[in-house]
Structure formats: structure tokens, C-alpha cells
Amino acid sequence: MAGFSSLLTCNLRKNFTLNEIHKPGDVVLGGLFEVHYTSVLPERAFTSEPQQPLCKGFDTLGFRHAMTMAFAIDEINKKINLLPNVTLGYRIYDNCGALVVGFSGALSLASGTDEQFKLLENCSGTPPVLGIVGDHYSTFSIAIANVLGLYKMPLVSYFATCSCLSDRQRYPTFFRTIPSDAFQVRAMVKILKHFGWTWVGLLVSDDDYGLHVAQSFQSDLARSGDGCLAYLKVLPWNSDQSELTQIVHLIKASTARVVIVFAHEIHMIQLMEEVVRQNVTGRQWIASETWTTAVVLQVPHLMPYLSGTLGIAIRRGEIPGLRDFLSQIKPVKNSSGNDLVRQFWEHTFKCKFDGAGSVETEKPLCTGMENIDAVQTEFLDLSNLRPEYNVYKAVYSLAYALHDMLKCQSESGPFSCATLSTLEPWQLAHYLQKVNFTTPFGDQVSFDKNGDALPIYDVMNWLWLPDGKTKVQNVGEVKSAGSGGEELYIDVDKIFWNTESKQPPQSVCSESCPPGTRVARRKGEPECCFSCVSCSEGKISNTTNSLECITCPEDFWSNSRRDLCVPKKTEFLSYHEPLGICLTTTSLLGTFICTVVLAIFAFHRRSPIVRANNSELSFLLLVALKLCFLCSLLFIGQPRLWTCQLRHAVFGISFVLCISCILVKTMVVLAVFKASEPGGGGNLKWFGPKQQRGTVFSLTCIQAAICAAWLVSSSPAPRKNTQYHNDKIVYECEVGSTIGFAVILGYIGMLAILSFFLAFLARNLPNNFNEAKLITFSMLIFCAVWMAFVPAYINSPGRYADAVEVFAILASSFGLLVPLFGPKCYIILLKPEKNTKKAIMGR
């Protein structure tokens, strides 16, 4: 491979005569710049006679880049603390915008020229330069770095951004002072995310620069998850009009309002001419660093379309003394080593030198004494130094590396220290990797393991001024963050937007799904194109573009907008609702009536009607009824553990106490009736006051024992029931043991049926014992109420089950209170003449 490169070097060098500028020195640095846009190569490039390519389109800014390198070397030579006693020289070639020309120049720099070096027959020998600054294009740098890697010669580019050049295996001696496209792409993605642009188009040039950017952009955009490409098109080099027409038509038809272009100025000129022809407006253009500051595009007929452009630009810098250096440049007559300066002079002053080869004989002769300050040229406009600043840093990087190499100590270096006569390019590459210095502008310069400089870009915006001029203003910056990401700062208020609203445009395939909805992907379309589906009940999404809805916690439910989980509504028989108020009022009314009746009976306790049929049982029955009315209050309000445990126990014991008193009363009536018959007097001894109290106590204790066993074995407890309503929590008491609850009700029912049966048997007794009829009627009501209660209770959900039970308790309590005590109170209060023993024992 080395032999092939040497042979190729000789052939190219012997057949091309290159435009150059050179200055001798102890150590010579090479430079490759695009001073001409394009060139026409000789038909027979490889002949025995050297030929010069015809370079066309003088690039004033490209020449300024080359002169910046000359200035930096001149400035370094004047420093006493950097490379003292060493004079740097330079040899700068023009690549004429052609790879073969730039490649020839690089090989000449690496292998030497006949005029300066005596070479062996195989073109081998000591390299005349230790390092090269350049090239301008990524494609050129890739080709050159491949070959210079064989020489182990460092190549420091100021403008090649292809991320592929960070491959240390393929390009071991390549460095650059401009961030790679990998960082530029990440910076672009950061800007898209900042403005919420998720649907964009991408145009790239048909070269290594564009194709690598396309690959990197697609992967980074997909990895970020913040956007999609509406289209990706490659801009042709050959200005194929039909292809350009198709591309611009696609831009016009697409719903993407943001168009990102990674291409060169020539591509943009061709593209924008077609954009103007098709009148494609309303697009936000995003520029790569190659054309962000391109003056050739800032023309009046393009600005209605390009105004408001956002772009990433190379970091602007200040180079003190550069203007004075540039203004002092003068052509040297009859000097073959500075022909680029002569060409610049002819281009600037529209003149020609004798023997300069100009075919335009009508031009005046150049004297070389023209005043460059008197003409209007961008050559001296240093307000926007960007590539020049990178050239400046590249030259200083080589100088600092050389300085460190010459002052090394053998004990500490990785190899024997070099002298001026024994310098080798590979040694310089080693020290270049460790360079770390700060420019006068305050920027730190160093290289990472891949040869990339510390990344930083300016964010630019094209402002179309009222006078028709264009101002490219700095609106922010993006740089590498300490955490490994990118840090973006943009002054949004400073940006000029080319929209009617003067606000950032919207560029999305689908509008963002608001909270309360989720993203539903469309089959066969990019992930940025989706539909919004509302979350189902019980689920929410509280962020924009949620991929799924979140299920609310157990005691929460979604609100109407489905963007917030709110506590579920609670349902129970409350004191504050009309039904609860009505039942509570009825319960208190029954309690009050019992209290009044008890007071009446207590006041008239010696009256015959009260003393008849055991007044003690009557008082006990009234107390029991009062407890029945009050126990219904335990069923109202939010269930608690103690209310759940007490409600059925108190209910069961209270009603057993009532039914026991009624049962004993009925039995006493029958016993008295039997005792009035001949030979039945002995029956009354079994129904004395003690026996009556004992029977009531015993029957009640049985119910108390059942309740105690139920509470101990499987106690009722409150529970949250969500089976009735998903969005409500129904608080209810779980009975625990259904068997225990059934036994309690069954025991009450058994006593009630027995009382009804006995009272029914006594219904036809003489009128002086007519209380049996009242008992029969009350027990009929009681049994009817509770027989209707069971099916109603089972089929009533939630709080209505409690309401049914309370209603049954109140209805049965009133069914006992009114028939049993209503007639007696009527006689006591309204018919006192009947409240006599004679009246009671009468008919």
C-alpha cells in the first residue's frame, strides 16, 4: 500500500501544477483550501508534461481562510513563549473544488516537491511538512485522511464534519476544530424538540457529508422519540431539473412545515430557484452549518421564502490583528510561489498582470499598488469569523503540539525526544492528541479520543430588514453538557418568524393527544401519525401524548375529563339525605311516643286499666319498644365496626324482649281464662309475677347468647362494596356469618309465631279479657312486616337495604305500639269513666 501511494504521489505531482502560496521555515505546515469553486481538468491528466487544471470561480472567502492560516503562522513566529527559536513556514494549495486536485496537493505536501527536496527514484524521502490544515469538504478529507494515515501525518480539518471521520481505526491521524455531524444532528434534534416540531422533512447532499448525516439523523431522531421524518430526499449534484421539480413538489404537498437541509451552497441555490418557481411558502427552513451564513442565498428574490430561517453555525470568534494583516497583502510580481495572491488581486480589482494568462484582454493592467481598503469587498468584513476561527485554532493546535514535542524530556515521553532535524509526523500526532489551550477569545481547544474538538455551535436566525437587507443574527447556542448530552439556549423573543402570526409554526403529523386520551398508532404510518382515543372509565392519562391510560387506585375513579383520579363517591344511608332524615325523624317520633305512653302509664299506674294483666310487663314492653325504635338509628350513618356489631345484636335482643313480654302476656290471659273454669285454679301458680319475669329473662338471654356466639365466631364488619357501581363505594355492614344472622331472625320469628298462635286461640275470650284480640292484631302486623322484609332486603342494593331494614323495624315497632297501647291511652285520657274496675270487669 505504501509503494502504491508513493507511485500515485509521483504521478499526480508530475502531471499537475497547483495554485499555491508558500513561505519557508524551520518547520513547514501544509494547507488545503477551496480558493476556487470548480475546475476543468485536462483531457489527458497523466502525461509526461505537467499541466495546470483550469480553476474557475474565485472564492474570496476561501482565500481569506487560506490567509488566516498565513496570519496565524506569522503571529506564532512573533511569540516568544510559543516555539521560541523556531520559525514556522507554510505551503498552501488550492483544491479548486475538485477531489483529484486536493488529493494531489495533499500527496505533494506529504511526499515533497522537486523544487525543495531531493527525492529517491521511488519518491521516498523525509516528508516536507509535519501536519496539514484542511480540507474543506468531508469527502475530500475522507480520501486524504485515508492516505495520510499511511504516512502517520496529522490532518486537522476546519470544516469537514462527517461523523465517519471520528473512526480512529480508519483515520488514526485525523483531527478537526469543527464539531462532527453527530453533534450537529443531536443539536438539530434538540431544536426540534424545543419547538415541538415532530413532523419534518430532510434534504441532504449526494456525498459522504449528506449520506452520513441522513443515516445519523434518522437513528438519533428515532432514539429520541421526539419526531419522525415525513420524507428524506437526496439533492443531486448535476442540477437535474426533473428531480428537483419532484423534490420541491413533495415539499409543497407534504404536511410537514419544517424542512431541514444538510447540503452545500450550490445545492441550495438550485433548490431555492425551483422553490421560487413553484412558489412554495409557509415553510420553516433549518440550515446546517454549510449554508447558515451563506451570503449568496441572502438575495431579495429568495428572502420571501428563506426569511426566518433557523440554522446552526460554526462558533464565531475574534482574531485580533487579522484585518491589519489582510489589508497589507500585496502581490509579488514574477513570483511563482504566490500566484493565489495575484489571482485574488485580479479578481478584486478586475485587472490583470502581464503574463497572467488572462484571456480578457480588455481588462486594465494590475500595478500591485491598488488600495484594497478603497474597494467594497467581503474580504475585509470580519464581523462574522467562523471558518476562519476554526482555521486559526487548527494552526495553533499544530503549533502547541510541536511546542510540547520539542520541549519534551526523554524520561517522561513515550519515545526519544525529537530535534528539528529528526521530527516525524507521527510524533506530532501523538502530542496533538494531548493539546489543551485557550484562545484569546476565551474558547478552550482540545481533542477527544476520536480527534473531535469540544463541540459548540451558534444558533442563527435570518432577519429580513425593512430596507430589503438580511441580517443573520445570533439567537442562541448549543454545546456539549457535562452529563454527555447537549445544552441548548435559545432567546425565543429575539427570533424572527416568517409567519402571519409571527409565532413559531406548527409542524406535526397529528395534533398532540390531550390529557384524558391515549395515542393509538395508525397501521402502516410513522409513529408520529396517530389517533387520540379517550381513556375508558376508571382510567386516566394526565400527560400529553400518553401511550396508555393508567388505572385509578382502588378507592379512586376517573373524572369526566379522564385526566385525574378523584376519590370515588361514597354511598350509605346518611343522616343528611331526605331518606335518612325521614327515617331518623320517624325513629325519634316512635321513641318520643313510647316515652309519652310510659309517662302516662307511670302517672296512672294505679288505675285499673294499667294494673290489669301485669302492669310490670307493660312497662317492660314499653322500654323494649323504645329500644327497638332507637336501635334503628344504628343503621343510619357510615358503617363503623362498632355500629355493625351492635345494630343486629341490639335489634335482635330488643325485639326478643318485646315478643317475650307479649308472649308472656298472652300466656297469662289464657291461664286466667283457664283458671276461671271449674278445676282450673291450679294453673295460675305457674304464671305468677316471678315466673313471668323469669320467662321473659330466659327467652331474652337465649337471644343474647346467640348474638354473643355470632359476634365471637364471625363478627359483622364494615366493607366497601363496588359491585353495584364502579364509580361509587357503597359502605355496608357485612353480616359475617349468614347462619348466625338467620338464627337471630329465626328465633324472633319463632317467638312471634308462637305469640300469634296463642293470641289467636284467645281471640274469642270474653270481652273483659279482650287484650288477646289486640295482641293478635299486633302480631299479625309484625309477622306481615317481617315476611315482606326478607325478599325486599335481599333485592335492595346498598343503602336501600339498610333503609328497608330500618323501615321494617319502625313499621313492626309501631305495629306493636299502636294496637297494644293505643286503646288503653284512649281510655285513660279520653274515656276516664271506663278506667274503673267495674267497667273492666263488667260485661
Contacts of 95 (CB under 8 A, 6+ apart): 32, 33, 34, 35, 101, 102, 105, 134, 135, 136, 140
Give the separation between CA 349 and CA 9, rounded to whole angstroms.
Answer: 36
Contacts of 456 (CB under 8 A, 6+ apart): 179, 315, 443, 477, 478, 479, 480
β-partners of residue 518 are 533
Give the separation between CA 778 and CA 722, rounded to whole angstroms.
Answer: 39
Q: What is the DSSP string of 24-57?
A: --SEEEEEEE--EEEEE--SS-SSSS-B--EEEE
Name the DSSP letter for residue 449.
T
Which CATH code for domain 578-675+687-841?
1.20.1070.10
Answer whether 505's CB lies under 8 Å from 257's CB.
yes
- pTM for the model stands at 0.65
- Evaluated on CA atoms 825, 828, 830, 831, the torsion sign reads positive
Answer whether 488's CB lies under 8 Å from 472's CB.
no
Which CATH code for domain 20-178+319-354+364-442?
3.40.50.2300
> What pLDDT score does 687 carry?
66
The single-letter code of the amino acid at 759 is A
Answer whether 691's CB lies under 8 Å from 672's CB.
no
Q: What is the DSSP string of 553-585?
A: PTTEEE-TTSS-EEEPEEE---TTSHHHHHHHH
> What pLDDT score does 273 carry?
92
Residue 588 C-alpha from the chain's centroid: 60
The single-letter code of the amino acid at 270 is Q
Q: What distances in angstroms separate CA 191 from CA 194, 479, 500, one per listed residue?
A: 5, 12, 22
User: According to DSSP H, which parts of 236-386 are helical?
Assistant: 241-253, 265-278, 303-306, 322-327, 339-349
Number of helices followed by number of strands (H, E) in the chain: 22, 27
| Neighbour tally for 470: CB within 10 Å | 19
> What pLDDT score does 16 carry?
56
Answer whether 265's CB lies under 8 Å from 294's CB.
yes
C-alpha cell recorded at residue 87: 520559525
Helix (H) or strand (E) run with residue 209 in it = helix 208-224
For the stretch 330-335, contacts whose Cβ atoms lie closer than 8 Å and that sit 24 or more positions apart, written own/partner, are: 330/368, 330/369, 331/366, 331/368, 332/368, 333/368
Give the separation between CA 171 and CA 149, rounded to whole angstroms.
Answer: 6
* Residue closest to 200 by CA, chosen among 188, 187, 208: 188
What does DSSP say about strands 199-205 and 258-262: parallel, antiparallel, or unpaired? parallel
Question: How many angstroms separate the first and last alpha carbons of the chain?
Answer: 145
Answer whether 2's CB lies under 8 Å from 322's CB.
no
- Cβ-count burial of 62 within 10 angstroms (0-12 exposed, 13-18 middle, 19+ buried)? buried
Answer whether 537's CB lies under 8 Å from 518's CB.
no
With H, G, I as helix, E, B as strand and everything else as coil, classify residue 297: helix
Question: Which regions of 467-571 does DSSP assign to beta strands (E)?
Answer: 470-480, 486-490, 517-521, 530-534, 539-540, 550-551, 556-558, 565-567, 569-571
User: What's 743-795 look like in SS3?
Assistant: HHHHHHHHHHHHHHHHHHHCCCCCHHHCHHHHHHHHHHHHHHHHHHHHHHHHC
**C-alpha R_g of the chain:** 53
Helix (H) or strand (E) run with residue 89 in it = strand 88-94
Where along the chain do its domains lie? 20-178+319-354+364-442, 181-315+454-494, 517-567, 578-675+687-841
With H, G, I as helix, E, B as strand and everything else as coil, classify residue 462: strand
With H, G, I as helix, E, B as strand and everything else as coil, classify residue 102: helix
The angle formed by the CA atoms of residues 510, 515 and 518, to the nearest 5 degrees, is 60
Answer whether 138's CB lies under 8 Å from 160's CB.
yes
What does DSSP say about strands 88-94 and 565-567: parallel, antiparallel, or unpaired? unpaired
Give the separation between CA 396 and CA 219, rounded to whole angstroms.
Answer: 35
The single-letter code of the amino acid at 352 is K
For the stretch 303-306, contacts whose Cβ atoms lie closer than 8 Å and that sit 24 or more positions apart, written own/partner, are: 303/462, 303/464, 303/468, 303/470, 305/272, 305/275, 305/276, 305/280, 305/281, 306/272, 306/462
Give the separation between CA 236 and CA 206, rounded to whole angstroms.
Answer: 6
- Fold: same for 20-178+319-354+364-442 and 578-675+687-841: no
Residues 181-315+454-494: name the CATH superfamily. Answer: Response regulator (3.40.50.2300)
Give the separation between CA 476 and CA 490, rounded to whole angstroms.
Answer: 4
Contacts of 794 (CB under 8 A, 6+ apart): none
> What pLDDT score does 114 carry?
42
Give the separation between CA 73 and CA 91, rounded to whole angstroms.
Answer: 11
Q: For the chain, how many residues are written?
A: 843
| Neighbour tally for 700: CB within 10 Å | 21
Answer whether 435's CB lies under 8 Å from 397's CB.
yes
Give the separation between CA 428 and CA 423, rounded to whole angstroms.
Answer: 8
Contacts of 35 (CB under 8 A, 6+ apart): 19, 55, 58, 59, 62, 63, 66, 94, 95, 96, 340, 343, 344
- Run means of pLDDT, 10 residues per run, the chain, 843 residues: 41 60 90 86 55 77 93 94 91 89 88 50 56 89 90 91 89 92 90 92 90 90 87 86 92 94 90 93 92 89 93 90 90 68 89 62 81 86 89 95 82 65 85 91 89 90 89 90 80 92 90 90 86 91 89 88 89 86 91 91 83 78 90 87 86 89 81 62 63 86 90 85 79 83 88 85 61 80 84 79 87 88 86 75 54
C-alpha cell recorded at residue 107: 500527496
Exposure string over 613-636, b if 16+ CB within 10 A, otherwise e: bbbebbbbbbbbbbbbbbbbbbbb
Q: What distances in angstroms separate CA 470 from CA 289, 300, 447, 575, one per listed residue?
A: 18, 9, 35, 77
